[in-house]
Structure 1
Amino acid sequence: MAPRSSGRIRAVHRPGIAHRRGAFRRGRVGIALLGLVALLAAACGGGGRTEASQEGVTLTMWTRAATQAQSERLVEAYNRSHKNQVKLTVVPTDNYQARIAAAAGAGQLPDIFAADVIFVPNYVSQGLYLDITDRIATLPYKDSLAPSHMRMGTLDGRQYTLPHTLDLSVWFWNKDLYEKAGLDPEQGPKTLKEFAEHATTIDEKLGGDGKVHGTFFGGNCGGCYVFTFWPSVWAAGGEVMNAEGTESFNDRPEMAEVFAIWRDLYEKGATGPTAREEQGPTWTGFFAKGEIGVMPMPSTTLGTMPPDLEIGVAPIAGPDGGESTFVGGDSIGISATSEHADAAWEFLAWTVSDEAQIEIMAKNKDVLARTDLTENKYSAEDPRVALINSLVAKGRTPYALRFGQTYNDPQGPWLSLAREAMFGDPAKVPQLNAEVTKSLQQ
């Protein structure tokens, strides 16, 4: 799914029925595609069925728990100020893909549903979303919508989704621990090598009690690796796979150098004793406790940090500089079988309006879905928020129809490669990289 540096991705061939089943699995979650095809045909070729009146409509909307807070704020504000209403259902994140697959197969999708941006290309290629290209074209700020999210919701030149919530990977550093270790608390790392130096210094000077560590990472979490390590590759001018998401480049020198720097930190003990076993659920919790000097973190955690924790924020850099970020979060669209397409679009368009983006998202320190609103009255109050928003236009959202099976699945080939590079025999990486490519191409 890695988009090209030019900002465009090649059109993806619509996969056949057998291939589509594989694309919809978390591990191996399937979908009743034959029934779905019939349902979409009944929806007049994906154009969406509409009522004569689109006023006083109650729309159904689903989102995953990971973006519950932002979704609830948007829905509540919309419902207070509009005649149409949105009824939000929050689905546990781990169950979300299976829930969408089952609902699509049964013809019971909600009017609107958000999805992890990584999986949006699967849903688009399946025809689950309504084509909203012409509607998007009417937005005066259409060219300022988060580029990575917009690319992921585009197929054959047609657009199907808007950005809903954004979560970027950045470096946080603990200013108090920096000062205690003799580092400048106002100067975070500007390169990955400097990051390693800072982490080592903090661990050596403050880690004697076993509570403070230089850094931390999710060593047994495939998604954690891609979210925090890949930006260093991009910042160094490298790529992790081809634009079509069918060939892995994780055996190339740029990735090898990133792994080597992190492996050295682990072998020194600067990452803490539990990094190797960390599977993801608790990997961000240690920084909030004031126990970590510097580490990659999701930008959305900034607003949840203890108020007395002095935190600096920096872009993720390559070994020798540059900057990038993994642009995660959710996109949102209208289901292809919705009978309220006009009303649903009214809600979607409102969520990316100045009012919603500034008074709801920016006010709560959320990352904005529009690059033209990076500088606003709320971000001006916190330079860290302004910096995070500025990275939206620079970051990447990797593109691959089989991203989940390949990179997120604990039994997938990517985690085996990453753990061998970090804790085992790096000489095995080329062979394991071939397995990653094989998985991408299935």
Structure 2
Amino acid sequence: MTVRRWMCSTVAAALLLGAAACGDDKAPATPANADSGATLTLWTRAATESVSKAYAAAYNATHKNQVQVTAYPNEEYPAKLASAAGAKALPDLFASDVVFAPQYASQGLWLDITDKFNALAVKDKVAPAHVRNGQWNKKNYAVPHTIDMSVMLYNKDLFTKAGLDPEKPPTTLQQFADDARAVNKLGGDIHGTYFGGNCGGCNVFTLWPSVWAGGGDVMNAEGTESTINGKEMSDVFALYRKLYDEGVAAPASKDEAGPTWLGALQSGKIGIAPAPSAWLGLIEEKATFKLGVAPISGMNGGESTFVGGDSIGIGATTKHATEAWDFLAWTLGDEAQVEVVAKGKGVPVRTDLASNKYSSADPRVVTINNLMGKGKTPYAKNFNATYNDPQSPWVTAFRGALFGDAKKSLDDGATALTASLKK
């Protein structure tokens, strides 16, 4: 999940369920003419528009096929897909937040690309967490389109002023808290850290990696049972709660629902905070301070990340499945991953390209890229309604854990989340 996810509205689940199995569920196994000169429609949400268009422009320049990208506002996109599915008029290709992938795959909105994916020479090097989320009943329906990961971003200038070594970021969550406290002592409008205290997706994206790094988990592998009341999750919440109670976390953290989080970190007044890796470039566009990057750690060490971003598959109603696969296969190749993604300071979707001629110029980017193999992408069919929706049981649970009765909130939350996941 990424910052893009928590800006999205609820999936129109009822519409999607009614649109399941709206076309042939398997892509052709053998291409008749993969580059026939077809015009391919590709839909994406606004947050992914720039990457989708960069892929399309590079592909169009060297192929007879031409990919036309249409982007829709984040909050309108799920309903737009639902409507198109119901009308049996899906685009040839469409991308979605990676956590939505199991739902779309289970409802037959993408074609089965299992045979084609397995025939790729690089199939074992494609982001494993993303590949898993694009599967349903052991079949592949989607591949990674964009990758975004959660990391710690810290203000090196504030670290220096606070007497901390700017080249030695924290390696445990407890050290993170101590460093945040040190920066907070600078006073004035400076605060040690910041978090999205009223944002379901934000907390999934930034808190769960600390649980994974500590050897715990937040739900079972099938995505049907919550374990948020386990020790690892409870300890992480307790740490962030204490930072807020002490005034180390900026007061605005309590009501942060996502939209103003980036601005808070761009202000240069926050010491260190978990955030999307994609913000490295966005912050530096406006920053007058030096920015550092570190992995998110567990209470006593370890490293992990939420491997977010978008998945993409072939629309179930397409008449150009062969050509659409040609585009998808091309996006996973070296040319696209290095000259489009890496050159644009993005994260390659291939583990073997984490270090490349563009990333090697910035050690921070190498740090980010190397986290992909250590992270997770949660798998759950009913993920959005359970975690991302502003009315989800997850929001009630973590708000209670951070600002109310922590134990009761997590115990009750685990029960409510499990009931939602099983729907």
Query: TM-score by structure 1 length?
Result: 0.90
- Does residue 326 of structure 1 match 2:306? yes
1:165 matched to which residue of 2? 146
2:386 matched to which residue of 1? 406
Once the two structures are superposed, what CA deviation does each residue of 1:325-369 show, in whole Å capped at 9, x if it has no partner? 001000111112211111111111111110110011111110110
The 1:329–1:34 alpha-carbon spacing in structure 2 relative to 1, beyond 3 Å, is closer
Once the two structures are superposed, what CA deviation does each residue of 1:23-73 show, in whole Å capped at 9, x if it has no partner? xx9265421655654x42xx3x44469996551110000011111121111
Provide the C-alpha distance between the structure 2 equivalents of 1:385 and 1:70, rounded to a whole number of angstroms: 17
The 1:275–1:223 alpha-carbon spacing in structure 2 relative to 1, beyond 3 Å, is same
1:382 matched to which residue of 2? 362
Provide the C-alpha distance between the structure 2 equivalents of 1:370 and 1:28, rounded to a whole number of angstroms: 32
Contact kept in structure 2, 1:178 and 1:202, CA below 8 Å: yes
The equivalent position to 2:404 in structure 1, one of 424, 432, 435, is 424
- Does residue 183 of structure 1 match 2:164? yes
- Does residue 336 of structure 1 match 2:316? yes
**Matches of residues 5-24 of structure 1 in structure 2 within 5 Å?**
none
1:251 matched to which residue of 2? 229
The 1:185–1:130 alpha-carbon spacing in structure 2 relative to 1, beyond 3 Å, is same
Contact kept in structure 2, 1:33 and 1:105, CA below 8 Å: no
2:102 matched to which residue of 1? 121
Q: Percent identity?
A: 53
The equivalent position to 1:78 in structure 2, one of 24, 42, 59, is 59
The 1:34–1:345 alpha-carbon spacing in structure 2 relative to 1, beyond 3 Å, is same
2:5 matched to which residue of 1? none
2:75 matched to which residue of 1? 94
- Does residue 30 of structure 1 match 2:14? yes
Provide the C-alpha distance between the structure 2 equivalents of 1:29 and 1:191, rounded to a whole number of angstroms: 39
Provide the C-alpha distance between the structure 2 equivalents of 1:62 and 1:178, rounded to a whole number of angstroms: 43
| 2:278 alignment partner, SS class | helix
Provide the C-alpha distance between the structure 1 equivalents of 2:30 and 2:70, rounded to a whole number of angstroms: 22
2:4 matched to which residue of 1? none
The 1:35–1:73 alpha-carbon spacing in structure 2 relative to 1, beyond 3 Å, is closer
Tell me how far 1:157 sits from its aligned partner.
Answer: 2.2
Provide the C-alpha distance between the structure 1 equivalents of 2:359 and 2:130, rounded to a whole number of angstroms: 21
Provide the C-alpha distance between the structure 1 equivalents of 2:317 and 2:29, rounded to a whole number of angstroms: 7
Q: CA RMSD of the aligned region, Å? A: 1.8
2:207 matched to which residue of 1? 229
Provide the C-alpha distance between the structure 1 equivalents of 2:355 and 2:28, rounded to a whole number of angstroms: 37
Contact kept in structure 2, 1:63 and 1:88, CA below 8 Å: yes
- Give, as a single letter, the amino acid of the residue that structure 2 aligns with 1:379: S
The equivalent position to 2:274 in structure 1, one of 290, 293, 296, is 296
**Matches of residues 211-230 of structure 1 in structure 2 within 5 Å?**
212-230=190-208
Provide the C-alpha distance between the structure 1 equivalents of 2:13 and 2:383, rounded to a whole number of angstroms: 14
- Does residue 350 of structure 1 match 2:330? yes
Contact kept in structure 2, 1:48 and 1:339, CA below 8 Å: no
Contact kept in structure 1, 2:40 and 2:320, CA below 8 Å: yes
Tell me how far 1:96 sits from its aligned partner.
Answer: 1.2
Once the two structures are superposed, what CA deviation does each residue of 1:229-268 show, in whole Å capped at 9, x if it has no partner? 0000000000100011111100111101000110010001
- Give, as a single letter, the amino acid of the residue that structure 1 aligns with 2:367: L
Tell me how far 1:178 sits from its aligned partner.
Answer: 0.3
Tell me how far 1:437 sits from its aligned partner.
Answer: 1.1
Contact kept in structure 2, 1:61 and 1:86, CA below 8 Å: yes
2:240 matched to which residue of 1? 262
1:241 matched to which residue of 2? 219
Query: TM-score by structure 2 length?
Result: 0.94
Contact kept in structure 1, 2:19 and 2:107, CA below 8 Å: no
| 2:373 alignment partner, SS class | coil
The 1:315–1:32 alpha-carbon spacing in structure 2 relative to 1, beyond 3 Å, is closer
Q: What is the count of residue pairs matched by the alignment?
A: 412
Once the two structures are superposed, what CA deviation does each residue of 1:91-147 show, in whole Å capped at 9, x if it has no partner? 111111111111101111000001100000001001111111111122211100000
- Does residue 312 of structure 1 match 2:296? no
| 1:396 alignment partner, SS class | coil
Provide the C-alpha distance between the structure 1 equivalents of 2:122 and 2:32, rounded to a whole number of angstroms: 29
- Does residue 194 of structure 1 match 2:162? no
- Does residue 283 of structure 1 match 2:261? yes
Provide the C-alpha distance between the structure 1 equivalents of 2:11 and 2:27, rounded to a whole number of angstroms: 31
The 1:187–1:234 alpha-carbon spacing in structure 2 relative to 1, beyond 3 Å, is same
Provide the C-alpha distance between the structure 2 equivalents of 1:50 and 1:345, rounded to a whole number of angstroms: 11
Tell me how far 1:181 sits from its aligned partner.
Answer: 0.8
